[in-house]
Structure 1
Amino acid sequence: MDLFPEVAIELEMLSKTGIPGKLSKALRNWSLRKSTVIVCPTEMMASYLIESGFSRDRIRVMHHWSDGSEIYPVPRSTNALRRHWGLQDKFVIGYSGNFGRAHDFATLLEAAALLKNDNDIHFLLIGGGQQRARVEETVGIQQLKNITFKPLQPPENISESLSAADAHVVSLIPRLEHCIVPSKFYGILAAGRPTFFVGSPDGEVANVIASTRCGEAVEIGESQKLADLIVQLKNSPERCENMGRNARDVLDIVYSRNNAVQSWSDLMSGLQQRAEEPLQSSVYRSA
């Protein structure tokens, strides 16, 4: 789903000009050229591969999805985790998932610092990963009492966990748009919560948000804008609820599990039909 070795190269973990980087890319390209079809989760990844010399006819775009029966909106008033964590009376901004190298946290932390005196707003960061220790260190140094950390929750609590926030932050470093899509976005859609996206305004998530009105997007470094948008959403419960409904609607209509299963079924049926055509032609000629 993510494109390697490009991810490692863009994060400067692998040199583009070094032997390991060149060899990894050559082997990857060899495997793709041996494939009958190449499935990409975003248009940007598909465009990148086409520009890299792969045939447009062999590339399909099939988006990520989320299971709407497994992840669903839990009302704030009945959310046991929200109550257990003491967040009933707060407007909660969530981050849930991997604290990975591909994500920006500086904009989120700066927005939290700008809002530290607003007692109605709280930030809930759930998950773990390479950057979590650094984020926790920054929160401690700046004494940001409006941020709470929690571990990644078990699968049976995923709906309550994602629904504990009134809105979520999703981020992606812009240079990774062609090789990564933040899959956490689709779970947020399923939970019926708005998304604040931090990254490229022309990226996959930003485009979905703009076209469906299920959140807002800011660029990396626009911490004041993010803080202002959070306050605006807190002060407009009806708008927040509308964005949440839009989020769930786009999940059900576009990014549902059923749609994904149907798309993959159609793809496999088409490949099977293509594989049988030469055999059928041979039979017809023999007859």
Structure 2
Amino acid sequence: MILNKRRVLLVSEHFQPSTGATAQLMNDLASGLVKQNWRVVVLTATGGPENSTTEDLTVIRLSSSIQSNNGVIGKAMKGTYFLISSLIWCLKHGNRGDVVLIVSNPPFIGLLGTILRKLKNMPYVFLFQDLFPQTAVISGLLPSSGPVASSFQWLMNVICKQAAKTVVLSDSMQTQLVQNLGQAESVTVIHNWAVEKALPIPLAKNPFAIQHGFQDRFTVQYSGNFGRLHDLKTLLDAAVILHANPMQFIFIGGGAKQSQIDNYCKFHSLSNVIRLHYQPRSTLKYSLGACDLSVIGLIPGAENSMAPCKFYGILASGKGVLLIAKKNCDLAQLVLTAGIGLVVEPGESEALADKLLQLSKNPQQVQDMGKRARSLYEKRFGRERSTLSYSSLLKSVR
């Protein structure tokens, strides 16, 4: 009976109908927890249809009418509105026995948990999508030293220490956070999953590749956010080196480094590079498979503070991984030991170009990487496995 079901309040700035990765993951998680016998209430800043309830899933939209750009100040204003609105809703409607699952966007949203814990004795779990303020320092948004970064680090430590549990997305993130906190008991790793996977269609017959005219070329694809923490330059430099070879580089998505791609194409007259906008979810089953290798690029330091969710989609799609990152990080070691792709460090463009040229002449090796990638996903990762982990964790919180 519904009365016997415990309720979880999922606080996520991003949710459907947004097509961003976090929104899709949290939509999957909410519906997955319902299947695990939870009543789920989602508090989100994402606009869309009016508040709705379907079976045991209720979506409360607390979107702001604040008119602002997507800069730091505008995001902070909207984030503050979401924090205050979520707090008011929880104070009015939250019950003892509820557990609050807070997703770390905006970073200070974790304050909600500390307040509810004190005022209503409601326990909370904090989900770190990336380790702020470390990510802001690495990307250059905050100075590495000084009162701003120190204050944010103090705040995040308080949020994590007062949480019943803190969830991170990878072993390296766990190691870094434990080092920051000085304690390990409350930090748990739960991996993300593939929100979509490609259909098993050969590149030569893939309708997305045919539509854009690269079905007959060895194709390297970067799909997702062109963010400040992502290394695109190493891949673009390799594209410059290989411009005379029958090889295609596809960039699908958008973000802060979008102009870097456009500038490279213009300055170097790169006919072997195509940049496309984000694709609707219905197209991903074709676009994700429209390549021979899929790329993940991380600038130095990012490998310990974030976990690229596209990794799981690449594996589930049965594609080999081209990872641009420090070779000593856990993701690089997994790619190498599992034999599912290539690893080069940021700046190793010439070495990357050589490896890509060799692989383009060895299709069987490329296929074998893809098969091992798919097998790895099925054995170690997946939505159902992660949802069950979240459900078990939430049940342990009292």
Residue type of the alignment partner of 1:57 = E
Partner residue of 1:203 out of 286, 306, 329: 329
> What is the aligned partner in structure 2 of residue 222 from structure 1?
348
* Runs of 5+ consecutive residues of structure 1 not aligned to the other structure: 276-287
Correspondence 1:163 to 2:289: yes
State the 1:266 CA deviation. 2.2
Question: If the length of structure 1 is used for normalisation, what is the TM-score?
Answer: 0.89
> What is the aligned partner in structure 2 of residue 285 from structure 1?
none
Partner residue of 1:4 out of 114, 124, 132: 132
Correspondence 1:262 to 2:385: no
Q: How does 1:32-111 map to 2 (within 5 A)?
A: 32-67=160-195, 70-75=196-201, 76-111=203-238
* Runs of 5+ consecutive residues of structure 2 not aligned to the other structure: 1-128
DSSP-derived class of the 1:177 partner: helix
Residue type of the alignment partner of 2:279 = Q
* Number of residue pairs the alignment of both structures matches: 269
What do the CA deviations read for 1:113-150 (whole angstroms, capped 9, x no partner)?
A: 1111112x111111111111122111210111111111
Residue type of the alignment partner of 2:375 = D
Residue type of the alignment partner of 2:151 = L
Report if aligned partners of 1:171, 1:182 keep a CA contact under 8 Å in 2: no
Partner residue of 1:231 out of 346, 354, 357: 357
> What is the aligned partner in structure 1 of residue 257 from structure 2?
131
Residue type of the alignment partner of 1:97 = G
Report if aligned partners of 1:170, 1:196 keep a CA contact under 8 Å in 2: yes
Residue type of the alignment partner of 1:139 = C
Partner residue of 1:248 out of 370, 374, 377: 374
DSSP-derived class of the 1:124 partner: strand
Give the structure with the larger helix fraction.
Answer: 1
RMSD: 1.5
Residue type of the alignment partner of 1:197 = L
What do the CA deviations read for 1:219-246 (whole angstroms, capped 9, x no partner)?
A: 1111111111112221111111111111
Correspondence 1:15 to 2:139: no
Correspondence 1:194 to 2:320: yes
> Using the alignment, how far apart are the partners of 1:202 and 1:243 within structure 2?
20
> Using the alignment, how far apart are the partners of 1:153 and 1:248 within structure 2?
22
> Using the alignment, how far apart are the partners of 1:232 and 1:258 within structure 2?
37
What do the CA deviations read for 1:134-175 (whole angstroms, capped 9, x no partner)?
A: 221112101111111111100001121110111112110121
Question: If the length of structure 2 is used for normalisation, what is the TM-score?
Answer: 0.65
Residue type of the alignment partner of 1:94 = Q
Bigger shift: residues 204-213 or 137-146? 204-213
Partner residue of 2:245 out of 118, 132, 142: 118
DSSP-derived class of the 1:221 partner: coil
DSSP-derived class of the 2:304 partner: coil
Residue type of the alignment partner of 2:236 = L
> Using the alignment, how far apart are the partners of 1:51 and 1:21 within structure 2?
17
What do the CA deviations read for 1:21-60 (whole angstroms, capped 9, x no partner)?
A: 2222211111111111111111111112222234211111
State the 1:270 CA deviation. 2.8
Bigger shift: residues 76-85 or 240-249? 76-85
DSSP-derived class of the 2:224 partner: strand
Residue type of the alignment partner of 2:254 = G
State the 1:9 CA deviation. 1.5
Distance 1:206 1:73, change over 3 A: farther
> Using the alignment, how far apart are the partners of 1:143 and 1:85 within structure 2?
18
Residue type of the alignment partner of 2:394 = M
DSSP-derived class of the 2:288 partner: helix
